[in-house]
């Protein structure tokens, strides 16, 4: 995700909706690094030490060597980092920490910018890797000033659906490695477990009349099927007629619809959900060629 590991002196921003599992992911990361002999410090403005310990006990993690400091006061967090000199300092979250020299409220534009600038300067000067946690708004944008994304070295987005245990860690900006990396996790009773995408999308098997679309805005897989049939008029299941007509124009250029007068398109969604991303509507029209010899279904 980060080009092979954490770079000393870098600042990484982890953004995600509240309650999606950011704190759990970072606690597992800190526990693994601490067990490997790399000291870590957790500055939490949302959980007390007892709550962090209870979460670690519930997940079966060892956090005896993990440092902790209340993450509400910027000066206290900076002083603790300078005193303990950890390899990784986790600030959870940038919306709860405040600079006592400013009268602005925590989470405001002035406070977020001032605290982020101070932590970035600390990381660059002393070589400590700082991992900032940021919340996102209902529209999916990072809460706070947009300049925060330009200040840090890497931006990771943690997404998921509360109705499902699947989570997606997507890499955005990255000064030290490739962008666009994606990691999949599943939330279990033992915490987040990395999983492969193969079983989620049919283990790579191509089925006639079926296209698989991956929605990066969430971890759910959708499999829209497009089928061409002839001789009888028909309509669309679960699709609006206007959308079928647009996809039908794409089918007509390359598929069996162009060779069968009176043919019509029949589509289904598995499961039947309403998707807001227009790009997902292209999947049924992304066939390669008709399936032979006897099937009329098009990939």
Lowest mean pLDDT among 44-48, 184-188, 200-204: 200-204
- Pair 48, 75: CB distance under 8 Å: no
- Pair 256, 298: CB distance under 8 Å: yes
Q: Taking residues 101-111, what's their average pLDDT?
A: 85
34 conformational bin, left if phi > 0, alpha if psi -120 to 50, beta if neither: alpha
Q: Assess whether pLDDT exceeds 60 at residue 284.
A: no
> Which strands make up the sheet holding 67-70, listed edge to edge?
67-70, 40-44, 88-92, 129-135, 11-16, 154-160, 166-174, 182-188, 191-195
Give the residue, 127 or 17, on which the prediction is more confident: 127
pLDDT at position 291: 39
Burial of 251 (0-12, 13-18, 19+ CB in 10 A): buried
pLDDT at position 165: 85
Q: Assess whether pLDDT exceeds 70 at residue 239.
A: no
Q: What pLDDT band is residue 234 in, cutting at 50, 70 and 90? A: very low
Sign of CA dihedral 70, 71, 75, 81: positive
pLDDT at position 89: 97
Q: Assess whether pLDDT exceeds 50 at residue 258.
A: no
What number of other Cβ atoms are within 10 A of residue 116's Cβ?
24
pLDDT at position 286: 57
Q: Assess whether pLDDT exceeds 90 at residue 297.
A: no
Backbone angles phi, psi at 27, to 5 degrees: -65, -40
pLDDT at position 294: 38
Give me the percent of the chain exceeding a pLDDT of 90: 39
Q: Assess whether pLDDT exceeds 60 at residue 155.
A: yes
Q: What pLDDT band is residue 36 in, cutting at 50, 70 and 90? A: very high
Mean of per-residue pLDDT scores for the chain = 76
Please give the model's pTM, rounded to 2 decimal places. 0.71
**Domains of the chain, first to last:** 11-195 (3.40.50.300), 202-285 (no CATH)
- Pair 166, 185: CB distance under 8 Å: yes
Q: Assess whether pLDDT exceeds 70 at residue 299.
A: no
């Amino acid at each position: 995700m980060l080009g092979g590991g954490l770079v000393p002196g870098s600042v990484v921003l982890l953004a995600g909706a509240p309650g999606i599992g950011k704190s759990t992911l970072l606690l597992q990361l800190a526990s693994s690094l601490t067990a490997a002999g790399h000291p870590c410090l957790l500055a939490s403005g949302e959980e007390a030490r007892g709550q962090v310990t209870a979460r670690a006990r519930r997940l079966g993690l060892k956090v005896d060597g993990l440092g902790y400091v209340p993450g509400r006061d910027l000066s206290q967090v900076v002083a603790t980092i300078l005193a303990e000199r950890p390899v990784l300092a986790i600030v959870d979250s940038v919306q709860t920490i405040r600079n006592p020299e400013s009268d602005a409220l925590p989470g405001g534009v002035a406070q977020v910018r001032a605290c982020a600038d101070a932590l970035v300067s600390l990381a660059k000067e002393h070589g400590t890797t700082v991992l900032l946690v940021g919340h996102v708004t209902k529209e999916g944008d990072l809460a706070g000033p947009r300049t925060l994304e330009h200040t840090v070295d890497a931006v990771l987005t943690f997404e998921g659906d509360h109705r499902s245990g699947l989570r997606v860690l997507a890499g955005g900006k990255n000064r030290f490695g490739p962008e666009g990396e994606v990691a999949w996790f599943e939330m279990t009773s033992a915490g987040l477990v990395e999983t492969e995408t193969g079983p989620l999308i049919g283990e790579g098997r191509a089925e006639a009349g079926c296209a698989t679309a991956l929605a990066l805005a969430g971890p759910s897989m959708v499999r829209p099927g497009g089928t061409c049939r002839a001789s009888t008029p028909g309509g669309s299941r679960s699709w609006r007629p206007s959308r079928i007509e647009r996809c039908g124009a794409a089918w007509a250029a390359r598929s069996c619809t162009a060779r069968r007068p009176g043919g019509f398109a029949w589509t289904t969604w598995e499961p039947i959900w309403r998707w807001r991303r227009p790009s997902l509507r292209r999947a049924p029209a992304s066939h390669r060629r008709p399936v032979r010899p006897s099937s009329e279904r098009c990939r």
